[in-house]
C-alpha cells in the first residue's frame, strides 16, 4: 500500500467526493466542500459512529451544542490563554511564520525563510488560533465571541442538564458530532488538517478511581471501531503521549494513529482528562458541578475519559485505506474498497444494453431497491466502463440485467473486490444485498 | 390547539430536548443546545428530508459545503451590499435599536424607546447581519471573511463541479443541510429565530421557460412533505409574496406557513430565483456558468427553483403541532404526538415490577429491539408514571413485561395516542413495530 495524497485528491475531485471550497473564486485555503459521493460517505461514517456510541451503549446519550458559546467557556477551558502558536514577522517582506517551523539555523540569525534577509525577524508573539467574531449590534471587546475550536466544551457545560433530564447515573457518556474551527497557520495535507472541520467526540463521566479502567475500555472499543469501519488492522496503531506531549489536563493519552501517505498520524485521541474540565467550569461559572452518588452517599467531581475523532480525517482514512490500482489484462483499474455499510452508493443497476426491454426491467429493480438503500441507475456506455466507474466510487455491488434476465427473472450480481459475478433471482435480491451490506458492521 | 410557547420551552428544558446554550454562564443570546431527545428528533427530521429529497428523486444529489467561503461569494450574492438592517443609536443611554421596530410616533420625535429622551436618536445606518471574522495570521480587511448567512451560495458555486461529476442533466437538483449564521438584532421566540441555525435547502436547476412548472411541482411536494412529517394540514398554508415582499432576485415566491403560538409564520420558502444567482457568480468569478443542452444543442444559464427550510423551525413545528394536554380521570397528561418515524425514541420497554424475572425478560427484549431502532429501558417507579414520561418524550410505543409474559411469551404493546393496549407475542415484535413506525412515511 503506497497511494500518494495526490492520487486521493485527484480521485476526490474527479468523482465528486471533495472539492476545494469556493473553487470558482480561486478557492479558500484549508476549507473543503463535500460533493455528492463525499457527503454520502461522510453521513455514513457519522451514522455508524452515532450508532456505535449512542445506540449500542445504554449509558451514552447524544447532544448537539451550538458552535457559538459564551466567551467565558474559553477562559475556563484555557483556550483564551493557551491555545496559541508562536508567530514571527519579517520586517522586510512582511510575511508571517510559525516560529517553531523555521529552520533553527536561520532562526538563530533571524533570517527570513522567504526573502532571505538577515536580522529581519521580530521576536515571537503568541497568536491565538480561535476565530473571533462579534455578536450583537456593537462591535467591541464586550461583544467578542469565538467559533468553538473543539466540541468537547459544549458537552462539559451541559453535563448537569443531561444528568437531570436523561435518568443516567455515573458512569455515563455524552456523544456529539459537530463542526469546530481553528485558524491554523499551516494547515494542509488535504482534509487532514483544515481550518473548518467536524469532530465526533464522546465524553465519559466516571467516579475518580474508576478512570483507568474506563480509559482502557474505550481505548480498545475505539480501535475496534476502525476495524468495523473496514480499516486494515496493519495500518492502525496506538501511540502513547509521554512527557511534554501530554496536555496539561491529561493524566494519560493515547492516539490511534493511521499509516497515511504522509506517515503515521493521529486519527483519534483517547484522553484521561481527570476532573480538570469540570473543576475549571465550576470555578469560572460559580455553579455546583459535583455529582452525588446516592448509592454510596458520596459527592465528587467526575473524572472524564474522552474519545475524540475527526470526521474529515476518518473519511480520508477510508479513502486512503480503500484505494487500490490493479493491473488487469488490458488496463489498470482504480478501485475503492470501502466497507459496504459506509459506501456512498450500495449498488448500481445496469441494463446490459439499451434495448429489448432491459432498461425497463433494470429501472424497475432500481425503484424497488432504492426503498432500502442508496442505489444508482446507469445505462450509458459499455458495461465494462460502467463497472469501472462504480469501482472508483466504491460501490460494492453491480446488478446487470441481460437477455437471460428477460427469460428467467434473474440478474448478475458483481462483486467490486473480486469482480466475480453470480446469478441471482430478482425476487429476494434486496434482502440478499441487505445481508451483504450489513456484514461489515 | 393553543399551546403557548412557554409550555414548549418548559417541556424542552424539562425533558432534555433543548437547553439554552452555555447555560451555566448565564446563556448566550439566541443560541441553543439540543439535548439527548432533541438531537434524536433533529437527526430524524434531517434524515427524513434527505431521504425525501436525495433518495426519492433520481435527479437530486447531495452536497455539504463549508461554512467559511471566499468573501467574493457574498459580494456576488448581494449580501455585502444589501443584507442589512437599519440601526439607530440613542445618544443618551447608548442603546441600539432596529429603526423599523421603533414606534413611528416615537421615531418622529427621535424619542428613545428605552430611556425616553427626546431627540436622542441618531440617523439610521445600515448594519450588516453577517458575522465577520479573519482567516490567517493577519487581521485586516484583506483577511476578512464571513460566516455564511445561508447555505444556498455553497450550492451555486459548486453547480459546475456537481454537473461534471454526477452525470446529471437539467433538470436536476442539489440538496444540502448545514448551519448558517445571522447576527440578528432582534432574535427571539425560542428556536424560531436564532443567530445560529440549520437549513435544509434544495436548489433545482431548470431550463428557462420550464421554471414555472418546476416551481409548482416543488411547491406541492414540499407541502406534502410536512404532512408526511406528521404536521396537521389545518395548521399549514401557503402565503404568496407580493409587491415589496418579493426579493429582488425572485420572480415568484411562496412561503409554507405554520400556525405557531406566535401566529402564522414562515416555515419554508419556495422561490423562483430565475438566473439571478448564476449570472452574478459568472460575472464576479469570470467563470463560464452556462449549461450546454446536448440534445437541443443550446446553451443557457439555468433558472433556479429553491426550496429553503429551517431545521430548528421544523423541529419546533413538530413539537408545537404534537403537544397536547389531556384531562384524564385523575390527572392531566402531557403528550407529544410526534409521527413515529421522527420520534426520538421509538419504543420503551418496561418490566411491570422489578422482580420475578420480569426485568431480565424486559432487558432481553430491549437488547433485541435496539438492533432495529432507538429503544429505551426503564424499570424505575410505577408503570403509570413510566408511561407518562414516555408520553411527554413522544415515544409512540411502550412494551410491558408482566406476569403473563413469563408464562406465554407475550407482552402488552401500548399506543401513546390512544393509550390502548394489545397483547402480542414477543416473537415478531420487532417486525410488527417496524411496520407501525414506517406507516408515517
Does a cis peptide bond (omega within 30 degrees of 0) precede residue B171?
yes
Q: What is the mean pLDDT of chain A?
A: 95
Q: Is the pLDDT of residue B417 over 80?
A: yes
User: For the residues B8-24, what does the mean pLDDT come to?
Assistant: 96
Task: Label residue B441 by pLDDT band (50, 70, 90).
Answer: very low
Q: Is the pLDDT of residue B430 over 80?
A: yes
What ipTM, to 2 d.p.? 0.95
Give helix B5-15 / helix B311-322 axis angle, nearest 10°: 100
Q: Is the pLDDT of residue B124 over 60?
A: yes
Q: Do B138 and A287 touch (CB under 8 A)?
A: no
- Which residue in A has a C-alpha nearest to residue B19's C-alpha? A161
Which pLDDT value is given to residue B330? 86
pLDDT tens digits, B102-117: 999 999 999 999 999 9
pLDDT tens digits, A177-230: 999 999 998 888 999 999 999 999 999 999 999 999 999 999 999 999 999 999
Q: Is the pLDDT of residue A1 over 70?
A: no
- Please indicate if any CB of chain B lies within 8 Å of the CB of A43: yes
Looking at the partner chain, which of B22, B43, B131 has a beta carbon nearest the beta carbon of A133?
B131
Element (H, E) at B242: none
- Please indicate if any CB of chain A lies within 8 Å of the CB of B134: yes
Cβ–Cβ < 8 Å for A249, A273: yes
User: For the residues A155-179, what does the mean pLDDT come to?
Assistant: 96
Task: Label residue B244 by pLDDT band (50, 70, 90).
Answer: confident
- Interface with chain B: mutation pick from A165, A179, A191, A287, highest number of B CBs within 10 Å: A165
Q: What is the mean pLDDT of chain B?
A: 95
- Please indicate if any CB of chain B lies within 8 Å of the CB of A300: no
Task: Label residue A231 by pLDDT band (50, 70, 90).
Answer: very high
Looking at the partner chain, which of A33, A179, A289 has a beta carbon nearest the beta carbon of B179?
A179
User: For the residues B2-20, what does the mean pLDDT come to?
Assistant: 95
Q: What cell was used for B318?
A: 413538530
- Please indicate if any CB of chain B lies within 8 Å of the CB of A264: no
Which pLDDT value is given to residue B439? 61
- Please indicate if any CB of chain A lies within 8 Å of the CB of B169: no
- Please indicate if any CB of chain A lies within 8 Å of the CB of B295: no
Q: Is the pLDDT of residue B247 over 90?
A: no
Distance, in angstroms, between A61 CA and closest chain B CA? 6
Element (H, E) at B415: strand B410-415
**How many residue pairs bridge chain A and chain B with CB atoms within 8 Å of each other?**
220
Give the whole-angstrom CA distance, residue B121 versus residue A430: 69
Q: Is the pLDDT of residue B45 over 70?
A: yes
User: For the residues B148-166, what does the mean pLDDT come to?
Assistant: 96
Which pLDDT value is given to residue A141? 83
Cβ–Cβ < 8 Å for A357, A406: yes
Distance, in angstroms, between B39 CA and closest chain A CA? 6
In the DSSP assignment, the letter for residue A53 is: I
Task: Label residue A441 by pLDDT band (50, 70, 90).
Answer: very low
Cβ contacts of residue B325 below 8 Å, gap of 6+?
B3, B332, B333, B334, B335
Cβ–Cβ < 8 Å for A181, B66: no
Q: Which residues of A touch B32 (CB under 8 A)?
A: 66
Distance, in angstroms, between A34 CA and closest chain B CA? 5
User: For the residues B374-398, what does the mean pLDDT come to?
Assistant: 96
- Annotate B331-399 with DSSP letters as a single string: -EEEEE---TTT-S-SEEEEESSS-TTHHHHHHHHHHHHTTTS-EEE--SS-HHHHHHHHHHHT--EEE
Distance, in angstroms, between B36 CA and closest chain A CA? 5
Which pLDDT value is given to residue A312? 98
- Please indicate if any CB of chain B lies within 8 Å of the CB of A341: no
Q: Which residues of A touch B167 (CB under 8 A)?
A: 378, 380
User: For the residues A404-410, what does the mean pLDDT come to?
Assistant: 97
- Give residue B121's Cα distance to chain centre: 37
User: For the residues A270-298, what does the mean pLDDT come to?
Assistant: 96
Looking at the partner chain, which of B28, B70, B164 has a beta carbon nearest the beta carbon of A22?
B70
pLDDT tens digits, A306-343: 999 999 999 999 999 999 999 998 889 999 999 999 99
Q: Judged by CB atoms within 8 Å, which residues 170-199 of B form the interface with A?
A: 179, 181, 183, 185, 195-196
Q: Do A127 and B137 touch (CB under 8 A)?
A: yes
Task: Say how many C-beta atoms besides its own lie within 10 A of residue B336's C-beta.
Answer: 26
Which pLDDT value is given to residue A139? 81
Which pLDDT value is given to residue B186? 84
Looking at the partner chain, which of A21, A55, A65 has a beta carbon nearest the beta carbon of B65?
A21
Q: Which residues of A touch B185 (CB under 8 A)?
A: 136-137
Helices of type H across A327-420: 358-369, 383-393, 403-408
- Please indicate if any CB of chain A lies within 8 Å of the CB of B61: yes
- Which residue in A has a C-alpha nearest to residue B131's C-alpha? A133
pLDDT tens digits, A351-401: 999 999 999 999 999 999 998 999 999 999 999 999 999 999 999 999 999
Q: Do A26 and B70 touch (CB under 8 A)?
A: yes
Which pLDDT value is given to residue B346? 97
Q: Which residues of A touch B162 (CB under 8 A)?
A: 16, 35-36
In the DSSP assignment, the letter for residue A251 is: S
Q: Is the pLDDT of residue B234 over 70?
A: yes
Which pLDDT value is given to residue A439? 61
Q: Which residues of A touch B281 (CB under 8 A)?
A: 24
Amino acid at each position: 500500500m503506497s497511494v500518494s495524497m495526490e492520487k486521493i485528491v485527484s480521485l476526490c475531485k474527479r468523482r465528486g467526493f471533495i472539492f476545494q471550497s469556493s473553487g470558482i473564486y480561486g478557492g479558500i485555503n484549508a476549507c473543503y466542500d463535500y460533493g455528492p459521493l463525499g457527503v454520502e460517505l461522510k453521513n455514513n461514517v457519522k451514522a455508524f459512529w452515532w450508532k456505535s456510541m449512542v445506540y449500542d451503549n445504554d449509558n451514552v446519550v447524544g447532544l448537539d451544542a451550538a458552535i457559538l458559546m459564551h466567551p467565558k467557556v474559553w477562559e475556563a477551558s484555557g483556550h483564551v490563554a493557551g491555545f496559541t502558536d508562536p508567530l514571527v514577522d519579517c520586517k522586510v517582506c512582511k510575511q508571517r511564520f510559525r516560529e517553531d517551523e523555521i529552520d533553527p539555523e536561520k532562526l538563530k540569525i533571524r533570517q527570513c525563510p522567504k526573502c532571505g534577509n538577515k536580522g529581519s525577524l521580530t521576536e515571537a508573539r503568541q497568536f491565538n488560533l480561535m476565530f473571533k467574531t462579534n455578536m450583537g449590534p456593537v462591535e467591541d471587546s464586550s461583544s467578542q465571541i469565538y467559533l468553538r475550536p473543539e466540541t468537547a466544551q459544549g458537552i462539559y457545560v451541559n453535563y448537569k442538564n443531561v444528568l437531570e433530564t436523561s435518568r443516567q447515573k455515573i458512569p455515563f457518556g455524552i456523544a456529539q458530532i459537530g463542526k469546530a474551527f481553528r485558524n491554523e497557520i499551516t494547515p494542509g495535507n488535504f482534509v487532514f488538517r483544515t481550518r473548518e472541520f467536524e469532530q465526533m467526540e464522546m465524553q465519559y463521566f466516571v467516579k475518580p478511581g474508576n478512570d483507568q479502567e474506563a480509559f482502557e475500555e474505550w481505548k480498545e472499543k475505539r480501535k475496534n471501531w476502525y476495524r468495523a469501519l473496514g480499516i486494515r488492522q496493519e495500518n492502525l496503531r496506538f501511540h502513547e503521549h509521554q512527557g511534554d506531549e501530554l496536555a496539561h489536563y491529561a493524566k494519560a493519552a493515547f492516539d490511534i494513529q493511521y499509516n497515511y501517505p504522509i506517515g503515521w498520524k493521529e486519527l483519534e485521541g483517547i484522553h484521561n482528562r481527570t476532573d480538570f474540565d469540570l473543576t475549571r467550569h465550576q470555578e469560572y461559572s460559580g455553579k455546583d458541578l459535583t455529582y452525588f452518588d446516592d448509592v454510596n452517599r458520596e459527592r465528587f467531581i467526575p473524572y472524564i475519559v474522552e474519545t475524540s475523532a475527526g470526521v474529515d480525517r476518518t473519511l480520508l482514512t477510508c479513502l486512503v485505506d480503500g484505494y487500490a490500482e490493479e493491473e488487469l489484462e488490458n488496463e489498470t483499474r482504480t478501485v475503492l474498497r470501502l466497507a459496504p455499510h459506509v459506501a456512498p452508493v450500495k449498488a448500481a443497476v445496469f441494463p446490459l444494453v439499451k434495448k429489448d426491454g432491459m432498461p425497463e426491467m433494470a429501472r424497475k429493480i432500481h425503484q424497488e431497491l432504492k426503498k432500502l438503500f442508496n442505489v444508482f441507475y446507469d445505462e450509458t456506455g459499455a458495461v465494462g466502463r460502467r463497472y469501472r466507474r462504480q469501482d472508483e466510487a466504491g460501490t460494492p455491488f453491480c446488478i446487470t440485467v441481460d437477455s437471460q434476465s428477460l427469460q428467467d427473472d434473474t440478474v448478475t450480481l458483481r462483486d467490486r473486490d473480486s469482480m466475480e459475478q453470480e446469478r441471482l433471482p430478482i425476487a429476494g435480491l434486496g434482502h440478499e444485498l441487505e445481508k451483504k451490506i450489513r456484514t461489515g458492521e
